[in-house]
Chain A
Amino acid sequence: MTGNALIQIAVYVFALLLLAKPLGSYMARIYEGKFGAATRLLTPIENLIYRVSGVDPAQGMRWTQYALAMLAFNLLGLLAVYALQRLQLLLPLNPQGLPAVTPDSAFNTAISFATNTNWQGYSGEATMSYLTQMLGLTVQNFVSAASGMAVLVALIRGFNQKNAATLGNFWVDMTRSTLYILLPLSFILALVLVGQGVVQTFKPYQTVPLVESYTYDQAKLGDDGQPLKDAHGDPVTEKQTVTEQTIAVGPAASQVAIKQLGTNGGGFFNVNSAHPLENPTPLSNFLELLSILLIPAALCYTFGVMVGDTRQGWAILSAMTIVLVAAILITLSAEQSGNPLLAELGVDQINSPLQAGGNMEGKETRFGITNSSLWSVATTAASNGSVNAMHDSFTPIGGLVPMVMMQLGEVIFGGVGSGLYGMIVFAMVAVFVAGLMIGRTPEYLGKKIEAYEMKMAAIVILIPPLIVLVGTAVAVIAAAGKASVFNPGAHGFSEILYAFSSAGNNNGSAFGGLSANVPFYNAMLGIAMFFSRYWLAIPVLAIAGSFAAKKTVPVGVGTLPTHTPLFVVLLIGTVLLVGALTFVPALALGPVIDHLHMLGLH
């Protein structure tokens, strides 16, 4: 690791923690209905939305009503995205005349964007019209993030309320999350990104002359479409000269801003934030990177404010940050060390003023090892999934870390809202385990944790591993699953495991290398994304409803303090232990074997 790398990581983490408090307290004020002068400007729009949609903002909802409202809203969004993709050829803003998306891909993408996963089996610039990107995918980027924030706010209210039957109003929480938090932040970020050179236009793709033409040999095809061969069996080729290039453009900046802020991650272009028109400069890279974790970090502070004890929020944020920094350092170290097999061949992998050194395969030279490693961990710690380097080309340990970050359940920052509610469930399990070990009453933030809450917590914790491991097992057995693997052996297994870890934890990043835009993977990963989103949100709301109905227990000598360094360690231990116990066997078959091969151990 270089000094420069450590400084960049320190600046990133410092900026993140610095912004967590002001944004977190702003969000708390929004959810508590305490509007300032600036936010009051948007109140007429909020009220108009309620009037038009017939919502009574004062009406509280039971947890079941809250959950059903969330499901109904998400169903409509999912159907809208599916329809937009299937009908895009008949709709406006399709200057390239892109055809309808295939049904299996449309199914996968609709679930992917409604669930805040943003797994992309398709290539954006070759598949989606501008209308589908804007009205389908970008809108879902906003509302799927707002859905996660709404569920979190409902859970926090569960802690706050005593003997109450309701958790607030889903429509109000959704509207406020979008209108007062996501939209203003995205608007500002989109403008800055446009200033940095991220493209934002409705013009069709641009064909431009190349500064320097080039010639290459292309295989000649026969009438049957197969390559022609000469008498020696060698392919017959002809010279082709390329003088121009088509550059894909479109309304990217507005989508990129919310893709980062809403922990969505679905790129406008196929190579996501490695694309020069999606992430053109070091500053755009830093801002997009910061945006990945900004709201999840700030929500920890919001949580602290809303439960009346900011130390609780800082404790959770500390646990997340410690795991994040450790993961960044491991990845960075692995990538900077490079590949010993290449060193044996005499390749110079030492960092110097002339080169980055280490493993630069699959990385943008503009970003280098540090920013690629930092991004890979941040994007998988959060359920973002955008990439600025190809994780498939990382060293085995460098690729293992992003996989583990997802397999921990997307609770190290995680998705906006969903990451924190997942972490709160882990905090409940930590309290419960501590209670069992030392005989203290299991209670968290004044609420007794009883059998019902633990059953719901068990569903939350067990669903993702079940989906990931069963899905991976089916894929490595089924012929259709194996047909998409081009790297047989341990690395191919890693690619499948990564795909299901990504979908089954609503991350959305791709390892690469796996040909996933086929009916088998579109269906399997679509199912994984659906259930890992809603079957977690539902038991979390059930816990919220149960807590709201309970009385608040005053802090006593038997209460385990949940704001201390000891609890932070206990929380990290719980998260790591559950993740490790569940996934170590699968990881041993993929990246661990890959690593041993790299070291020459067969």
Chain B
Amino acid sequence: MDFAYLSLIFIFFIVSILLVLGCDVLGEKQ
């Protein structure tokens, strides 16, 4: 179970990093 919950935490952070990059790309376009 530890592996499942830790994986979930890492996935959350990865999608959050993607949000940072996405917002940056959107900002660059404008």
Q: Which residues of A contact B (CB under 8 A)?
A: 63-64, 67-68, 71, 75, 78-79, 82, 86, 103-104, 106-107, 110-111, 450-452, 455-456, 523, 527, 530-531, 534-535, 538-539, 542, 545-546
From A71, A86, A545, contact of B16 by CB (8 A): A71
Expressed in whole angstroms, the minimum distance between the Cβ of A103 and any Cβ of chain B is 4
Leading 10 A-B pairs by shortest Cβ distance? A103-B1, A107-B5, A542-B23, A452-B30, A67-B20, A534-B16, A64-B24, A75-B13, A530-B12, A538-B19
Contact between A79 and B26 (Cβ–Cβ < 8 Å)?
Answer: no
Query: Given the complex, which residues of B lie within 8 Å of A523, measured CB to CB?
Result: 8
Q: Scoring B residues 1 to 30 as 1 if CB is less than 8 Å from chain A, else 0, what string do you get?
A: 110111011001100110111011011001
Contact between B9 and A64 (Cβ–Cβ < 8 Å)?
Answer: no
Contact between A103 and B9 (Cβ–Cβ < 8 Å)?
Answer: no
Contact between A86 and B17 (Cβ–Cβ < 8 Å)?
Answer: no
Contact between B5 and A103 (Cβ–Cβ < 8 Å)?
Answer: yes
Q: Which residues of B contact A (CB under 8 A)?
A: 1-2, 4-6, 8-9, 12-13, 16-17, 19-21, 23-24, 26-27, 30
Q: How far is the CA of A86 from the CA of B3 in the complex (A)?
A: 12
Q: How far is the CA of A67 from the CA of B23 in the complex (A)?
A: 11
Query: Given the complex, which residues of B lie within 8 Å of A538, measured CB to CB?
Result: 16, 19-20, 23
Q: How far is the CA of A331 from the CA of B26 in the complex (A)?
A: 44
Contact between A456 and B9 (Cβ–Cβ < 8 Å)?
Answer: no
Identify whether the interface residues of A are mostly helix, strand, loop, or mixed: helix
Given contacts A64-B20, A68-B17, A530-B12, contact A542 B27 (CB under 8 A): yes
Expressed in whole angstroms, the minimum distance between the Cβ of A530 and any Cβ of chain B is 5
Contact between B23 and A456 (Cβ–Cβ < 8 Å)?
Answer: yes
Q: How far is the CA of A542 from the CA of B24 in the complex (A)?
A: 7
Query: Given the complex, which residues of A lie within 8 Å of B12, measured CB to CB?
Result: 527, 530-531, 534
Q: Would you list 23 pairs from A and B whose C-beta atoms are within 8 A, ordered by A residue?
A: A63-B24, A64-B20, A67-B20, A71-B13, A71-B16, A71-B20, A78-B9, A82-B5, A82-B9, A86-B2, A103-B1, A103-B2, A103-B5, A104-B1, A107-B5, A107-B9, A451-B30, A455-B26, A527-B12, A534-B12, A535-B19, A538-B23, A545-B27
Indicate the member of B4, B8, B16, B26 with the most A CB atoms within 10 Å.
B16
Query: Given the complex, which residues of A lie within 8 Å of B26, measured CB to CB?
Result: 452, 455
Q: How far is the CA of A68 from the CA of B5 in the complex (A)?
A: 22
CB-nearest residue of chain B to A519 = B1
Query: Given the complex, which residues of B lie within 8 Å of A67, measured CB to CB?
Result: 20
Q: How far is the CA of A110 from the CA of B9 in the complex (A)?
A: 10
Query: Given the complex, which residues of A lie within 8 Å of B5, measured CB to CB?
Result: 82, 103-104, 106-107
Given contacts A82-B9, A103-B1, A107-B8, contact A68 B20 (CB under 8 A): yes
Expressed in whole angstroms, the minimum distance between the Cβ of A425 and any Cβ of chain B is 14
Expressed in whole angstroms, the minimum distance between the Cβ of A136 and any Cβ of chain B is 15
Contact between B2 and A450 (Cβ–Cβ < 8 Å)?
Answer: no
Q: How far is the CA of A496 from the CA of B5 in the complex (A)?
A: 23
Query: Given the complex, which residues of B lie within 8 Å of A86, measured CB to CB?
Result: 2
Q: How far is the CA of A562 from the CA of B10 in the complex (A)?
A: 41
Q: How far is the CA of A157 from the CA of B24 in the complex (A)?
A: 18
Q: How far is the CA of A107 from the CA of B6 in the complex (A)?
A: 8
Query: Given the complex, which residues of A lie within 8 Å of B21, measured CB to CB?
Result: 64
Q: How far is the CA of A455 from the CA of B27 in the complex (A)?
A: 10
Query: Given the complex, which residues of B lie within 8 Å of A63, measured CB to CB?
Result: 24
Expressed in whole angstroms, the minimum distance between the Cβ of A165 and any Cβ of chain B is 12
